[in-house]
Amino acid sequence: MLQSDKLLEVQNLRVTYRFEDKKIRAVDDVSFSIREGDRFAIVGESGSGKSTLGLSIVRLCPGEASGSVRLNGIDILKLSQEELRKLRGSDISVVFQDPSSALNPVLRIGDQLIEVFTTHGYDKTEAYTRSAKLLETVGIPEPEKRLMSYPHQLSGGMKQRVIIAMAIALNPKLVIADEPTSALDVTIQAQILKLIKELSETKKLSMILITHDIGVAAEVCNEIGIMYAGRMLEIGTFEDVFHNPKHPYTQSLMTCVPKGLKCVLKPLPGNVPDMSNLPSGCKFHPRCPYANDKCKTIEPKLEKADGRYVACHAVW
């Protein structure tokens, strides 16, 4: 097997949802890659397809996916169900948005944490000791007692710590965090974000962080991809994209400069596009201040410019 320095390589990924007679392409021709140790932020408004993209990497999305998603050269989209099952939770794990609905309400925290180990071959006693230790790692006091608790007996922040514990349990090669803080109270958000940042540094986690909040991405990530209407519009290092955005859409996002963790968004003219009825050409052109005739007809491709990739006719 060819050993590249790329941990994850996504190529021409398309995800289509079917509703009776309608088809919606939530992710369209997306390509990007992550090296080991990268923390890649996927930033976009709600409905931009960023969660679909994130979950499709481990095929947790009900939509049909085409293209390729290679982890260390192995195409996840081609794995058998059993191979996929073995990969999930051990090689790639997920942190979900709302810890209240992501945890099973009728099972003890212990049951839900221990099964991550047991399903991947650990025996029960070892799974138990490791689970208790893990709760301590994510900052949950009295771990042995908490293992016996039910989710409703924990606060939202504690529940999210449990979800994070599950995600890092088997030292995965990649963690996909889907809006890990947006369902939480503001003060708790900061704590969870701090935990994620610490863990990603101490454990050298590679991570995809999906968020609508540039401030959150700024805390954790070194790479960033900007999504709009199912497409990647700009991909580069966080430094470049953040301080010197090229795509007009990225520029409009960056004008909402973070104040601490708060981010005041400057409203764009027009609306988030209707995914079942997308405009022709560049999907952003109806809202773009620089749009020209070419933008209305020909969809721009991601091209290298100034140290990052941008999909825009108007930048040069």
Contact residues toward another protein (CB under 8 A) are 55, 58, 60, 81, 85-90, 93-94, 96, 98, 101-108, 111, 115-116, 119-120, 150, 152-153, 163, 166
Report the 10 Å Cβ neighbour count for 246. Answer: 24
> Among 194, 174, 170, which residue's Cα sits nearest to residue 184?
194
Give me Rg for the CA atoms of the chain: 20
Contact indicator for 156, 96 with CB cutoff of 8 Å: no
In one-letter notation, the amino acid at residue 69 is V
| Least distance (Å) between residue 293 CB and another protein | 42
* CB closer to another protein, 55 vs 217: 55
| Least distance (Å) between residue 220 CB and another protein | 20
* CB closer to another protein, 48 vs 112: 112
Contact indicator for 311, 247 with CB cutoff of 8 Å: yes
The C-alpha atoms of residue 161 and residue 142 are separated, in whole angstroms, by 13
* CB closer to another protein, 74 vs 107: 107
| Least distance (Å) between residue 94 CB and another protein | 4
> Among 52, 47, 80, which residue's Cα sits nearest to residue 65?
52
| Least distance (Å) between residue 116 CB and another protein | 5
The C-alpha atoms of residue 135 and residue 175 are separated, in whole angstroms, by 17
* CB closer to another protein, 85 vs 296: 85
| Least distance (Å) between residue 102 CB and another protein | 5
* CB closer to another protein, 105 vs 141: 105
